[in-house]
Amino acid sequence: MERTRLAGRRALVTGASRGIGAATAQRLAAEGADVAISARTLEHHPTLAGSLRETADLLSAFGGRVVPIVADLADADARAAIVPQAVIGLGGPLDILVNNAAAAIYQPLVDFPLRRRLLTFEVNVHAPFDLAQAVLPGMLQAGEGWIVNISSATARSWGPPFVLGPLGSSTGVYGASKAALNRLTNALAAELAGKGVRVNTIEPRAAVMSEGAEVLLGTQLAADQVESIEEMVEAILALCDCAQERTGGTHVSLDLLDELGLTARRLDGSPQADSVRARPFT
């Protein structure tokens, strides 16, 4: 069945070669949106499945416009070209921006190198903020728009007592960057309140076993500590066409689905049975 929920909308999803980004782009295309997708390379990662080219092929099956954009978000000049390329390729200003790409570097803080800290904040904070600033003129002129920033539960502080989870304190810098992203999201939403542009963050309640997460966490998690990628994407989608009043929030995937009474659909937009809800992942 043809889905038209987002027909006529133009969207950009970063980090779309695999995982949550690729799945989100697929679902947006399935709902009728024209979609620009970006990643650092067009072809395969040396160790991870998936590529920007493969995502583009998946999206093309839904019949809308698809624009793959190769850009390194750690390079300010490279990322400055993303939105102009998307606008030209899709034929007009963007309605939806999903800032999914992230640099996830995990290691103990005592000897965490400065260059890695700088890279983490460049990709996880400055890049999504730059892209948001780039899409805002078109959104403000249109009087509506949706910016969704993908965050993480690692943004929240621990104890004491300190219950660190399987990755220990190694998520500290990554979590700090996501905490900064949450704060900027909230402040930008406050600044734009009443102007039609919704700005929110969304984080998984539990682990989403993307290709990268599989490598990182392996079999360390119980089944009820994992949520499906379809559930995460359903929550993202809910923020891609939410009401004007829903802005400035730091949302949690399964909590948002419960609040809205939503059941996750497959990535092609077709219905599926309810899945088991996960407990919070720490």
Quick one: pLDDT at residue 231? Answer: 95
Tens digit of pLDDT at every position of the chain (282 positions): 567 899 999 999 999 999 999 999 999 999 999 999 999 999 977 777 889 999 999 999 999 999 999 999 999 999 999 999 999 999 999 999 999 999 999 999 999 999 999 999 999 999 999 999 999 999 999 999 999 999 999 999 999 999 888 888 999 999 999 999 999 999 999 999 999 999 999 999 987 855 554 455 555 555 556 799 999 999 999 999 999 999 999 999 999 999 999 999 999 999 986 655 555 544
Task: Just list the catalytic residues.
Answer: 174
Locate the domains of the chain by residue range.
10-260
Question: What was the pLDDT predicted at 206?
Answer: 80
**Which CATH number is correct for 10-260, 3.30.470.20, 3.40.720.10, 3.40.50.1820, 3.40.50.720?**
3.40.50.720
pLDDT at 282 (0 to 100): 45
Residue 12: name the closest of 132, 173, 153 by CA.
132
Q: Distances in Å between the alpha carbon of 172 and those of 35, 107, 110, 152, 167?
A: 33, 8, 11, 12, 10
The residues, ordered by sequence, that sit 6+ positions from 113 with a Cβ below 8 Å of its Cβ are none
Report how many helices (DSSP H) and strands (DSSP E) the chain contains, helices first. Answer: 10, 9
Q: Provide the pLDDT for residue 212.
A: 54
pLDDT averaged over every residue in the chain: 92
What pTM did the predictor assign? 0.92
